[in-house]
Chains A and B, each alone.
Chain A
Amino acid sequence: MFQYIVKRLLSSVGVILIIITASFFVMKVAPGGPFDADRKLPDEVKRNIEAKYHLDKPLWEQYLRQMDSIVLKGDFGPSMKYPDRTVNEILAEGLPVSLVLGFQAMIVAVMLGLSAGLIAGLRQNRWEDYGAMTTAMAGVSIPNFVLAPLLIVLFAIKLRWFDAAGWNGLEKGIWGHFKSSLLPSLTLGVYYAAYIARLTRSGMLEIIRQDYIRTARAKGLSETVVVARHAIKGAVIPVVSFLGPAFAGMLTGSVVIEKIFNIPGLGTHFVASAFNRDYPLVLGTIVLYSALLVVLNLIVDVLYTVLDPRVSYD
């Protein structure tokens, strides 16, 4: 197991290096640069700025410098759009917000999805099943940028239960945070809740027919115990393997959610920096996202072996 984790971590480092390289060169071949946006700068000034960011050096030297500072010092350098701030500062500010949003969405997705899926699986072909599965189908079909405005109009503007936009940390108390973060977490999580519900249902249907469940029933265990102690564990295995891709999707999805709800997270920075051609910031966000993804995928895979003893990576 330990060996497996080390191996995976090593290959992840490789993946991230590839990502840095790919993003670096994509940005270099792209037309347009960070300093030719609004007004034309005098050549002298432009040359000075380019010298400051080493943009006047040959491409391979720029690449090596970048790699050197990112890999060895973990430093993405100064932002080109906000010269007085470093990329690391901006990322450190946005990351917690995005992470909290992502984890809350994950909780929403798992809670809603598991319960709907279990009910549907246990009540197969009854109205509970059809109701849950139709809702789940709607959940995967309604884009979150359509759902979000509907929820905002209903819950924030008409009923005034939650905030329509913005993000409160805990400085406004738990309720203050909850009021601003529930709607975004819900809209972000609903798609994955629907997916998890479908996975749980089919997992449940498969498990419930297994011999070991029949054994459990035969020895006189109550249905509640059979489901809670024996069936659920088997039924959630496909869900666990879905959590990796789900988290990746939520990171991407939060770009849109952050835009709609005006949340100062990584997604906002990512899109803005890409539009501004703020290359260091773009690179920083992509690397951070990839690292997150890689680590979370690894956690999911390890969890998998814990849940399903048949799977082993050794």
Chain B
Amino acid sequence: MTEQHLEKGTSLWADAWKRLLRNRAAMAGAVVVALMALCALGFGLISRYVTRFTFDEQHLEHATKPIGARSIPQEHYRLDEGAKARFGEIDADADGKIDRFELAAEMSRLEFRLLDGNGDGALDAAELGEAPINLFRDSAQETLAQMDADGNGSVHLEEAAEITALMPDDEARDFIRKYDADKDKGMSASEFPGTPVPQTHWFGTDALGRDLLTRVVMGARVSLAVGFIATMVSFWIGIIWGATAGYFGGRVDNLMMRFVDIMYGLPFMFLVILLMVIFQELPGDAKLYLLFLALGAVQWLTMSRIVRGQVITLKSREFVEAARAIGVSKAKIIFRHLIPNALGPIIVYSTLTVPAVMLEEAFLSFLGLGVQAPYASWGSLASDGAQAFREYPWLIVFPGAALAITLLSLNFLGDGLRDALDPQVRKD
């Protein structure tokens, strides 16, 4: 053999990869999906270090508060060590310990200072306008008129009690209990670790005062999981069904594809709805598996048609003939030779199945048939939000936007993959 200099060939996949990288919409979609997946996987860390709220902790006094409202996290709180220096100040009755009323009062003063932008010790209309309570409510002037009991044109600390109640009584008691070593229902100077730092609800809170941002991140986890797992279910059923029908052909093919045709004619989502209603009393986990199965079962039909078509065109090629000639088993021919070569369209269709399944899950959750509280998916969150979207628009806007953005990204990615893997379509 003489040594030859050969042009390095590019495989179909390398080619497709290059085309995909050039498609800006698809790459943007991929980045967004990756970020969402990262958030979903890192939910625990995000809850602990970023939002600092857990997905099910309730702040009933701060129920349905708009964007920017503040609460004290119950579990992942931080401490303001600087407050230790002001022990005497916080201990209003100077009995040497801070009880829950004194702590709550201190937290109210803190919230008041946060609202009081110019630091003059009174809230004017402009400052009230900035306060989260006003973002979706009446005008700042109205709020001012309502709260200004003494009618001097501004709101001072006592008058603002309604909007500065940062720490409800029971939360203050719980906090003190944690640090109250000698069990005298108060923190002495040595026990006092500082005041807890309030944390902002960036997406507002829901009807039980739960942090919406944390719940939306939690929802990412459930929604994406449903999307990917149900797609895997449809992927495997579709591949096995379609490849078997396509490879064996003849009567088997006829029978199997006739079945698919019949299933196509069914109002499948209605059967899924019926199934989910009927098995509503199942425990949470079992219901989730049923959801995966049911949604996957809706989607496998098209997949099996695609795989069958691919297998039929591929099975008369020489490489399959060769494999058969040397005695490779049927299953091996299907899974080692046919399916890998049909992978392009299968991947494209799977990518586009993920958003379809996520949409269906959201649809079921919207009807109250999907994920059950306290767990949440974007669909179930949007469903809660839809109950009162006129008064509390943020409750539907954020989960709805998260869902729409993710679906949009997945669709762009799927389209890009199709363009990349199927250059024939791309000639347009």
What is B's interface to A at a CB cutoff of 8 Å?
262, 265-267, 269-271, 273-275, 277-279, 281, 355, 359, 362-363, 366-367, 379, 382-383, 385-386, 389-390, 393, 396, 400-401, 403-405, 407-408, 411-412, 415, 425, 428
Contact = CB atoms under 8 A, between A and B. Distances in A.
Nearest to B279: A30
Contacts of B408: 137-138, 141
Contacts of B400: 142-143, 145-146
A1 to B, nearest CB: 19
Interface residues on A, range: 35 or more
A270 B366 CA distance: 15
Given A141-B407, A143-B403, A252-B270, A15 B278 contact: no
Nearest to B385: A149
Interface string A286-313: 1001100110010000000000000000
B267 A248 contact: yes
Interface stretch (A21-29, A41-49, A92-100, A227-235): A21-29
Nearest to B412: A137
A26 B408 CA distance: 36
B274 A286 contact: yes
A145 B383 contact: yes
Contacts of A225: none
Nearest to B29: A137
Given A141-B407, A153-B393, A294 B382 contact: no
B271 to A, nearest CB: 7
Contacts of B393: 149, 153
Given A138-B408, A143-B404, A293 B277 contact: no
Nearest to B388: A149
Contacts of A12: 265
A12 B262 CA distance: 8
B267 A256 contact: no
15 contacts: A26-B271, A32-B278, A137-B412, A138-B408, A141-B408, A143-B359, A143-B362, A146-B404, A152-B389, A252-B269, A259-B366, A271-B277, A274-B273, A289-B267, A290-B267
A124 B427 CA distance: 12
A274 B390 CA distance: 29
Given A137-B411, A141-B408, A146-B403, A23 B366 contact: no
Contacts of B277: 271, 274-275
A23 B274 contact: yes
B265 A256 contact: no
A293 B386 contact: no
Contacts of B366: 143, 145, 256, 259
Given A138-B404, A202-B425, A260-B386, 11 more contacts: A12-B265, A32-B281, A141-B405, A142-B404, A143-B366, A145-B400, A146-B401, A205-B428, A206-B428, A274-B277, A282-B274
